């Protein structure tokens, strides 16, 4: 039963994507909507990203210092380890898990409400491809803007660690900065950005799918919103494993 349902859902998701990735009825309308979505899904997420990154960067630095306080380990390894954590996991996987909550529930509830109030039916009656009109701008906008959020997250997290070094005495600032710079692997940045692109696509498309097929009323919209966050999170973790295997090994 679970397998049948999963297969049916996957098939419907593929058909939904087929409808979504068709040529827009009006490019000018598509462009305008995409810019609106960049603002709503991307720019509005910047404060959250900054706050979380700042604190996580600080916490990472403190915990690294606590765990590597050995005379055999050089002090700059605190900065180095913080950098690797931020670049490899936090700025993409963890950030996207957090954004799945904010952006995913936003998308699912918006589209779900449009479904239950017959706004999607109204679009269909007019001859508009509703999946394309509603979803494609969201996917394009979020995938386009996610690398910006990811880079912002990296920078802010490093600043969070620097603040700990600057305003406490657990590690000298020069050692922290040296740790950030030493043995730097540029590929890790690209690896993080590639992952963030894939995760952004998963969040936007899965959440749109959950909202688009809502049946019922307000209760079902709430459930769709929860399903969107849960499903997006699971697929982010699944693809995290797959992409890490493909890109780093």
Partner 1 sequence: MIEVKKLRKSFDGRTVLHDIDATFYTGKTNLIIGQSGSGKTVLVKSLVGLLRPDKGEILFDGRNLLTMTSQEVKELRKEIGMLFQGSALFDSETVLGNVMFPLTMFTSMSRAEMLDRAMFCIERVNLKGAENKYPSEISGGMQKRVAIARAIALNPKYLFCDEPNSGLDPKTSIVIDELLSDITHEYGITTVINTHDMNSVLGIGENIIFINKGHREWVGDMSQIYTTSNEALNDFVFATRLFQDVRAYVAKHGKI
Residue numbers at the binding site for partner 1 (CB under 8 A): 25-26, 29, 113, 117-119, 121-122, 124-128
CB contact burial 207-227 (16+ within 10 A = b; e otherwise): bbbbbbbbeeeeebbeebbeb
Q: How far is the CB of 119 from partner 1 (least distance, A)?
A: 5
CB contact burial 66-104 (16+ within 10 A = b; e otherwise): eeeeeeeeebbbbbbbbbbbbbbebbbbbbbbbbbbbbb
Across 55-123, the runs of DSSP E, i.e. the strands, are none
Q: How far is the CB of 29 from partner 1 (least distance, A)?
A: 6
What is the rounded radius of gyration, in angstroms, for the C-alpha atoms of the chain?
A: 21
Q: How far is the CB of 142 from partner 1 (least distance, A)?
A: 18
Comparing CB distances to partner 1, the nearer of 56 and 134 is 134
Q: How far is the CB of 46 from partner 1 (least distance, A)?
A: 21
Other C-beta atoms closer than 10 Å to the C-beta of 3 total 7
Comparing CB distances to partner 1, the nearer of 33 and 83 is 33
Comparing CB distances to partner 1, the nearer of 30 and 188 is 30
Comparing CB distances to partner 1, the nearer of 113 and 233 is 113
């Amino acid at each position: 039963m679970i397998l049948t349902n999963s297969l049916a859902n996957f098939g419907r998701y593929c058909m939904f994507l087929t409808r979504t990735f068709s040529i827009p009825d009006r490019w000018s309308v598509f462009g305008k909507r995409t810019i609106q979505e960049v603002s709503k899904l991307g720019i509005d997420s910047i404060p959250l990203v900054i706050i979380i990154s700042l604190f996580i960067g600080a916490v990472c630095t403190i915990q690294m210092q606590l765990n590597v306080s050995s005379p055999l380990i050089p002090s700059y390894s605190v900065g180095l380890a913080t950098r690797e954590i931020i670049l490899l996991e936090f700025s993409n996987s963890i950030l996207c898990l957090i954004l799945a909550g904010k952006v995913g529930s936003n998308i699912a509830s918006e589209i779900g409400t449009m479904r239950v109030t017959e706004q999607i039916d109204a679009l269909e009656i007019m001859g508009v491809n509703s999946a394309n009109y509603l979803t494609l701008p969201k996917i394009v906008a979020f995938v386009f803007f996610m690398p910006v959020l990811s880079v912002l997250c990296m920078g802010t997290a490093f600043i969070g660690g620097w603040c700990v070094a600057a305003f406490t005495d657990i590690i000298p600032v020069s050692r922290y900065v040296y740790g950030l710079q030493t043995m730097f692997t540029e590929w890790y940045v690209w690896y993080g950005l590639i992952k963030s692109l894939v995760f952004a696509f998963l969040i936007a498309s899965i959440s749109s799918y959950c909202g688009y097929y809502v049946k019922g009323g307000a209760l079902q919209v709430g459930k769709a919103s929860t399903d969107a966050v849960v499903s997006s999170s699971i697929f982010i973790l699944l693809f995290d494993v797959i992409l890490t295997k493909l890109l780093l090994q």
